[in-house]
Structure 1
Amino acid sequence: MFRRGRRLRANSAIRSLVRENSLSVDDFIYPVFVVEGKDIKREISSLKGNYHWSVDRLEELVDELNEAKIKSVILFGIPEHKDCVGSEAYNENGIVQKAIRRLRELSPELYIITDVCMCEYTDHGHCGILNDHDVNNDKTLVYLGEIALSHAKAGADMVAPSDMMDGRIAYIRNVLDENGYENLPIMSYAAKYSSAFYGPFREAAGSAPSFGDRKSYQMDPANSREAMAEIEADLNEGADIIMVKPAMSYLDIVREARDKINVPICVYNVSGEYAMVKNAGEAGLINEKLVALEMLLSMKRAGAKMIITYYALEAAKWLKEEE
């Protein structure tokens, strides 16, 4: 006798009853790019359907988020002024700090996560302070602590260091605790790979390095055991949530992490992954809706609890249509 698996696939009712994983709008974190200036809602050419927002137009974004029932965003800032120490990143009146305060006014219940890094703010595009042509790890920690603290003071709900400096979780945790933010969680970009999938983001954020690459501090795509070591180190330093980035090509890392750790896992469905599906859909090569939802579901199946995705608004609408 053989097993008749088709018995439990016969119709939508039984398929729903036995379904092991599901997508929900509650899983999504929407990336938001904020820029200096006024009256700006400018589509990002490399990320169709996503925009640069000026602070005075954020009410429109909040309305869209409320309509889609999306509860969380992650903020990225693009300043007007850049310098060698990324001073706008920790300016109390910097673009992200202003956006946090405005979003808090518009939607007190919105959960605001902030990206803590320096690449958008430095004139060289690297994620830290340079020593000649090398990023000085330990000196960078001081600046990352200032950035995280400035976000906390502005009203962020969570900080997410994406720089990949060694020891930054412990340093930031200490800074936050010493200043009365011991209850502010840290989501660590723990396994962030040096990936070719980031291209559209670097255009959107103006963060491409002016020389060299980030391979000395981001992870080698060939390594998986190293990812587990990075995750373990960040958890030992006080991370509350860990992230794997990118998502699609690294679901094996997500699965391994899920089997080994007991904290929530986030994945970043990065710009290149989004752009490939979006452009293929617009070219008529695939059914964009079905492929995008299948892609996002695969991340849940691998073990992620939350997904940062440029598809958040669209996926939320698609899921509502299926109810």
Structure 2
Amino acid sequence: MSNIRTTAAPTPLPLTEPTAEPARPMADFDWQIAMLWTALGGSIEKKFLCNLHLATLLELSSQAGITNRRSGTVPLSPLEATAIIKGYQLNHFGLDGSLFDLRDPQAFEAELRAHGIGVYDSSRRIRLLQRLYGALASQGLSIEILRDRRDRGLSYVTDRRSPYDIYHVSERVRLRVTGRKGAHVALIQVPQGTRGPIDTLWPSAAHPDTELTQTRAGTSELIVPGYGQDAIEFRPPSDFYRLLAVEGDAELIALFSCGELARAAKQGFAGAEEEDTALGEAPPRMTEVDAGTILAWLDAHPDAPLRVAQLEYLLR
């Protein structure tokens, strides 16, 4: 008899799939910035929709800082949130750093949609403002408000602690634009946010002169209105405003009169002297049709010169 023993084969263990690690949810800032870039994709250059540009906005030494924030390892600070808002010029549309406090994607998207950001804009006036803000010049073009000291004996003192100038209803001023000799300039006023009206302060039928001319000091400027004419008067409502000086070709700048220059020419007033028309009339208010006309001109002339200067002030 053989002394070899036999034993029962071991029962095989049941086959099971490897246990998958649960998917880690995206950090808030990761989906927030991805959603923001999706909205902005059609309105700004792609080179600005990347971690490298974000690192530049936050003054970080490398993209690693952005990676840490997108992964949730490092929280986004309120100061950094504000830097992103200003870096993408979302503050021009009434947004601030509190946008990144929204933790619900639907609420975040709704906020972008409500303010007409990028692909969510439905207004030609908003699209025009986006085009103009995208042409802001860092140098070579400026706008300033000149106080008229003859308007009254006593005046309020400007709060120098404010980051912008403060003016008061009924105060009279002039505007000075300095830029490229021979260029033409339009001046528009926009209240805080994007849903308010856009008023054209210059040009109008009463004030058609838009060309920057050289002064004795060698600069090229336009004073609005010219000396010897009544000054501009601040009128209600009190609000936070932005003045935009738009520099370009005469044909483009004439469109900012919202049709007034064209109508005046048809009526035979093109050669009328400015002094013959009272300045106190309301400035032209831009409509969707006016904004669409300007946008169409810009689309048809992609290489035409366009620069914009901005000035912010508070009216009390």
TM-score (norm 1): 0.23
Q: Which has the larger radius of gyration?
A: 2
Task: Give TM-score, length-normalised by structure 2.
Answer: 0.23
Q: Give 1 or 2: higher helix fraction.
A: 1
